[in-house]
Structure 1
């Protein structure tokens, strides 16, 4: 492990890897969220209706749930350097496709495929964990997540200006295309300047690529249970495209999707059985055991934190516009205060975890998250706008610091499976967004915030049975020797 001092202004060694990692993540979010700021321009240029625009927004996130799981597996197997590079290269293609689209169908295919780039986040989690010791890991992962996540805000602020600078009806095409070029160029920079581990360190790989390993019978059944919500979220997305939603897909096609998801789940159960059936035959040696309940708890917490962030960022401008009768421009600027907190909140959550422990930090931040959303549920037109903004920013701190604390813990569970664990946890964030936005379509803004607060309370309760990562985790080298990796002091 590279133990040179942690200096944010340095661009050598582990700090160089950290900076290049958050830049790669930043670019993936810049590309992933390059549509929303240019929505009106795209709508006019392609002659789309409101229903078609809604469909494009849904398609933009549909593929991210399975993509995060797959990318996590590939990262553990082939290493972050190759996987991040290929992701940037491959996803620049649908980005260019969207920039060149001249029909709704072409735009829809491009946005669906671009959902894959939302999985980039998972890769850096494994890469950063290889370069930083446990006592700096939370801070490093927080910087990676917080600064990279700001790519979505950067898209909102910069791309409309770029489109206007190019001018004309096709200005949006140049702005979108430019993000694809940035994606492609940075893939070269990343590949030439990053290595998977510090010199002399071993990159531990999972025994199986097709699924997560568990080390007890009860964990096997818990894993099967935790897979269900991811398939349910995809079914929910299909329902939103059905005649009961935006009416893009026929009922027969949607039923076919449902059947396909059930068959896919059963196939995954079969694969997980092949990987883990030995736990039914004999006990795993204590040195190699880990508790999958730790992963399940982190999944629930990321559902409540990142899931709510994605949902709230999507609806907050409209909330301020409707509640306080603001103009769309002012409402958007006021709502952006929520996203801006990412720059410091997520690194702050990771830093607090490093200093005061993973479980205590998560308990405090989750309680704050619940209180924050309960407070936002009280906001009404009688409130001063400035006070509503302060409430949103305070809530945002706990949400994003909670995200940082979650991923300060993920790499400490089982090193060789960090990508797979991060992929599943990251996918739960998208599952949360789908669920929360679906709830919003049926209830008032106030009830929406109360529902999120309720899930945060659930997260707090399951946290009570979480165990603080302690001691060391064991990984086996190719020659059979065992390496012990510190996860606490």
Structure 2
């Protein structure tokens, strides 16, 4: 499979659309954006869904948990499928099949139907793994971290852009005569249709590698997969470094998902902000992905140039430590100004940690990039699930105690007590999570690479750079 590295792009030339690596980068980034846009597309409409379907608080929380947990299993599977069939076909099918539950979400009539759709919508979150595999196959070692991080940032951006985009879509359909009560339904259908169309675009306008698709390369003999080249999934599972990165991604992307999902209420309860103001702050947090995650990959590549593969790990550990410190500090903030500064710092560091993680992933096992990416990517959703369960349990216990203690004092007094109790519970949860992140940063230092791994990276850099130095006759 060495032929796949000979024509990888050594630069991220974003406007060179004739270059297959650049073209694939943009199509996979836009597809990833749309997947996350649809995955979290219902979030801005949750008050309407609660009212329309009569969801209980538990059902609302369960829908959030189902949306992130359903992705875990598909991420584990999709990586192996990418290694076997190539990212082009995997992304095409994921987009087209993933569009179905998105569309059906706009047609649900009962809470049970809504929860089932949320579970299956979560499957399109596996698009992250295919995105990372495809960019890893298209870009050389000197730039792969930056390329991976930038394409991944587009996906996370989609998860935040829906706060603006979905209400705009809803406003547009209302302008065409749809009732306000049904606008969220039409918006989800439209998002699903766009995902389906992106699947068609992906099939016709991308290819698996710079030299062509897996199927054609195998047929022509340019991509010869021998028994020596085949890496079993079990062998990948035995690599301790994969599981450390699994935990690292749980502590970065998993925590970002959870903080993003709980921050609206926390800002309102802690700093008495209006819902719109709190929502705009959280939106800004999500929009930072367009550059913050890229910075993580960029510095991962730079540290790699200075200190080899070990340098990538050292930067990852550093930025994770900073992320933990920022979250711990934010959990104790009582001033809104200080809180926003610390939240921005946390947002920057957590997204850089995500980018730094996938500047390391492509070097763990070059013959099984898909499997490694799938396992590590699944770690993000496991982290989100565990963190959400922690915050849900702490908040539920605190709010029930507050209601019991203030029974008979009136609805306003009970709501105020609930707000204080929830804020305190979530704050203590953020504090605990922050210390877990720092512990994970220390653990990441145990990731080691052999001399063979280091020399292989150097030799691949030389292979990629030499063609650029030879003038074309």
TM class by shorter chain equals 0.7 to 0.9
Shift in Å, 1:373: 1.3
| Compared CA separation, residues 203 and 399, structure 1 to 2 (3 A) | farther
Moved more, 195-204 or 184-193: 195-204
| TM-score normalised over the length of structure 1 | 0.78
Q: Which runs of 5+ in 2 are unaligned?
A: 1-6, 305-311, 395-424, 466-473
Q: Which residue of 2 aligns with 1:172?
A: 184
Q: Which residue of 2 aligns with 1:427?
A: 378
SS of residue paired to 2:106:
helix
1:8 maps to 2:14:
yes
Deviation string for 1:235-291 (max 9, x for gaps)?
A: xxxxxxxxxxxxxxxxxxxxxxxxxxxxxxxxxxxxxxxxxxxxxxxxxxxxxxxxx
Q: Which residue of 2 aligns with 1:212?
A: 233
Q: Which residue of 2 aligns with 1:362?
A: 316
8 Å CA contact 1:150–1:343 kept in 2: the answer is: yes
| Compared CA separation, residues 141 and 100, structure 1 to 2 (3 A) | same
Calculate the aligned-residue CA RMSD, in Å: 2.4
| Compared CA separation, residues 204 and 190, structure 1 to 2 (3 A) | farther
Q: When the two structures are aligned, how many residues end up with a matched partner?
A: 403
Shift in Å, 1:61: 2.2
**Correspondence for 2:261 among 281, 293, 314:** 314
CA distance in structure 2 between the partners assigned to 1:456 and 1:61 by the alignment: 20
Q: How does 1:1-400 map to 2 (within 5 A)?
A: 1-3=7-9, 5-13=11-19, 14-167=21-174, 168=179, 169-199=181-211, 212-214=233-235, 223=238, 292-357=239-304, 358-380=312-334, 383=335, 385-400=336-351
CA distance in structure 2 between the partners assigned to 1:5 and 1:418 by the alignment: 20
8 Å CA contact 1:197–1:203 kept in 2: the answer is: no
8 Å CA contact 1:205–1:417 kept in 2: the answer is: no
| Compared CA separation, residues 316 and 9, structure 1 to 2 (3 A) | same
**Correspondence for 1:461 among 442, 445, 453:** 442
CA distance in structure 1 between the partners assigned to 2:233 and 2:226 by the alignment: 9
CA distance in structure 2 between the partners assigned to 1:485 and 1:210 by the alignment: 20
Q: Which runs of 5+ in 1 are unaligned?
A: 224-291, 475-483
CA distance in structure 2 between the partners assigned to 1:334 and 1:487 by the alignment: 45
Shift in Å, 1:486: 5.3
8 Å CA contact 1:69–1:424 kept in 2: the answer is: yes
CA distance in structure 1 between the partners assigned to 2:234 and 2:462 by the alignment: 20
8 Å CA contact 2:325–2:438 kept in 1: the answer is: no
| Compared CA separation, residues 4 and 409, structure 1 to 2 (3 A) | closer
8 Å CA contact 1:77–1:209 kept in 2: the answer is: no
Shift in Å, 1:204: 7.5
SS of residue paired to 2:233:
coil
| Compared CA separation, residues 447 and 15, structure 1 to 2 (3 A) | same
Shift in Å, 1:406: 0.4
CA distance in structure 2 between the partners assigned to 1:210 and 1:128 by the alignment: 20
| Compared CA separation, residues 56 and 3, structure 1 to 2 (3 A) | closer
CA distance in structure 2 between the partners assigned to 1:422 and 1:350 by the alignment: 15
CA distance in structure 2 between the partners assigned to 1:109 and 1:466 by the alignment: 39
CA distance in structure 1 between the partners assigned to 2:225 and 2:27 by the alignment: 23
CA distance in structure 2 between the partners assigned to 1:97 and 1:210 by the alignment: 38
8 Å CA contact 1:68–1:122 kept in 2: the answer is: yes
Q: Which residue of 1 aligns with 2:430?
A: 449
Q: Which residue of 2 aligns with 1:478?
A: none
